[in-house]
Amino acid sequence: MDTWMRFMSNDGGIVFGRVENGYLHEYVGLDKPVPTGAVLSTRVLTRLAPCAPGKVVALWNNFHALAAKLDKPVPSHPLFLIKPASSVIGSGDPIQRPVGYTGKIAYEGELGIVIGRRCSAASIEEAAASIFGYTIVNDVTAADLLNENPHFPQWCRAKGFDTFCCIGPAIVSGLDWLSSRVVTLLDGVERQNYPLSDMVFSPAQQVSLISHDLTLEPGDVIACGTSLGVGSIKDGSTVAISIDGIGTLSNTLATVRGETEQAAATATSITP
C-alpha cells in the first residue's frame, strides 16, 4: 500500500505526493502520477486535506445493518447527495458551527473513495481502475435543518456548510477495504465500530453506477455512507475516525463564543 498526502509549504505552495518515513516524494496528477524528483520533510509542511475534490458524492442507506435498524429497504441504486468543494477540510482543522444555528450537529464516520481518472458511464472493471485510493470522511450534518421545511428535505443545505466535510489524513492505494472496519471515537469514547464488508454497494459498484448519473473527475470523492452509531457533537468535542491502513481523521467542533466575548475580541482587534 502507498500513502499519499497533500501539504502546504512555507511559501504557500501546495505539494502532493507519496509519504514514506516522514518524507514526501512529490508527484503531479492522480491518473498515473508523475514524480517531480522533489523530496521534502513533512516536518516543515502544513497538512491539508489529501485531495481537493470538485465535488463529494455522499451516499445514504448503504449499509445493511443501518437499513435494518431504520426499517428501510435496501436500495437498488446508490442514494446520494452532493457536498460542495467549499465544505472540505483536513484532519486537525476545526468544524465550525453555522452562524445563527444552535441545533444538533451530527458526525458520520465513513470510508471515502478518491477518483483517479475521469469516469463516465463506466463498467465495473473501468470503475475499479478509476479508483486512485481510499481515505476517511466525516460527513457532518446540521441535523435539525433536514426537515425544517416539511415540504422539502434539505439534505444539501444541512450537509453542505463550510467545514462540514472532513477528509483525511491520507489517501491509501491498495487498501483491503473488504476486511477493514470504521471506528469512530467521540471524546475518546467508541461510538461506531462497523465492518465495511456490510456495504450494500461495493466501491467499484458505487463508482460505476454513479458514473452513469454524473461524470466523476480526478480528485472527486465518494463518501460510502455510514452504519450504526451516528450521534451528535457538542461544541468543543472531538471526533476521531480510524480505518486501519489509512490512519485517523480527527476534528473538533469549535467552541462558539458568546456575543459579549466576540464583541470584546473585535474591539481588541481594532484598538490601535
Q: Does the pLDDT at position 232 exceed 80?
A: yes
Residue 265 lies in a domain: no
* pLDDT value of position 258: 47
Residue 3 lies in a domain: yes
8 A C-beta contact, residue 107 and residue 184: yes
Average pLDDT over residues 213-241: 98
* pLDDT value of position 264: 41
Average pLDDT over residues 51-65: 98
* pLDDT value of position 259: 43
Q: Does the pLDDT at position 262 exceed 50?
A: no
Residues 107 and 226 both lie in one domain: yes
Q: Are strands 221-223 and 55-60 parallel, antiparallel or unpaired?
A: parallel
Average pLDDT over residues 150-172: 97
Domain extent, residue 119, equals 49-256
Residues 39 and 99 both lie in one domain: no
Q: Does the pLDDT at position 268 exceed 70?
A: no
Q: Which residue has the cell 502507498?
A: 2
Q: Does the pLDDT at position 184 exceed 90?
A: yes
Residues 25 and 160 both lie in one domain: no
Average pLDDT over residues 241-262: 81
Residues 238 and 197 both lie in one domain: yes
Mean pLDDT of the chain: 94
Average pLDDT over residues 190-216: 98
Number of structural domains in the chain: 2
Residues 217 and 151 both lie in one domain: yes
Work out the pLDDT band at 255, boundaries 50, 70, 90: confident
Residues 55 and 117 both lie in one domain: yes
Q: Which residues pair with 138 in a beta bridge?
A: 109, 166
What is the C-alpha radius of gyration for the chain, rounded to an integer number of angstroms?
Answer: 19
* pLDDT value of position 266: 39
Average pLDDT over residues 146-162: 96
Residues 177 and 107 both lie in one domain: yes
Which amino acid, one-letter code, is at 223? A
- CA angle at residue 139 from 137 to 144, to 5 degrees? 170
Residue 106 lies in a domain: yes
| Report field, pTM of the whole predicted structure over 0.85 | yes
Residues 40 and 59 both lie in one domain: no
Omega prior to 169 cis, within 30 of 0: yes
Which amino acid, one-letter code, is at 254? A
User: 31-40, 237-246, 251-260 — which is least confidently predicted?
Assistant: 251-260
Q: What is the pLDDT of residues 98-129, one digit of tens each?
A: 999 999 999 999 999 999 999 999 999 999 99
Average pLDDT over residues 176-193: 98
Average pLDDT over residues 185-198: 98
* pLDDT value of position 257: 55
Residue 141 belongs to domain with CATH number: 3.90.850.10
Residues 109 and 33 both lie in one domain: no
* pLDDT value of position 261: 44
Residues 2 and 36 both lie in one domain: yes
Dist. CA 33–CA 17, nearest whole Å: 9
Residue 235 lies in a domain: yes
Residue 266 lies in a domain: no
Residue 20 belongs to domain with CATH number: 2.30.30
**What does the H/E/C string look like for the chain?**
CEEEEEEECCCCCEEEEEEECCEEEEEECCCCCEEEEEEEEHHHCEECCCCCCCEEEEEECCEHHHHHHHCCCCCCCCEEEEEEHHHEECCCCCECCCCCCCCCEEECEEEEEEECCCECCCCHHHHHHCEEEEEEEEECEEHHHCCCCCCCCCHHHHHCCCCCEEEEEEEEECCCHHHCEEEEEECCEEEEEEEHHHECCCHHHHHHHHHCCCCECCCCEEECCCCCCCEECCCCCEEEEEECCCEEEEEEECCCCCHHHHHHHHHHHHCC
Q: Does the pLDDT at position 267 exceed 80?
A: no
Residues 55 and 122 both lie in one domain: yes
Q: Does the pLDDT at position 260 exceed 60?
A: no
Residues 28 and 81 both lie in one domain: no
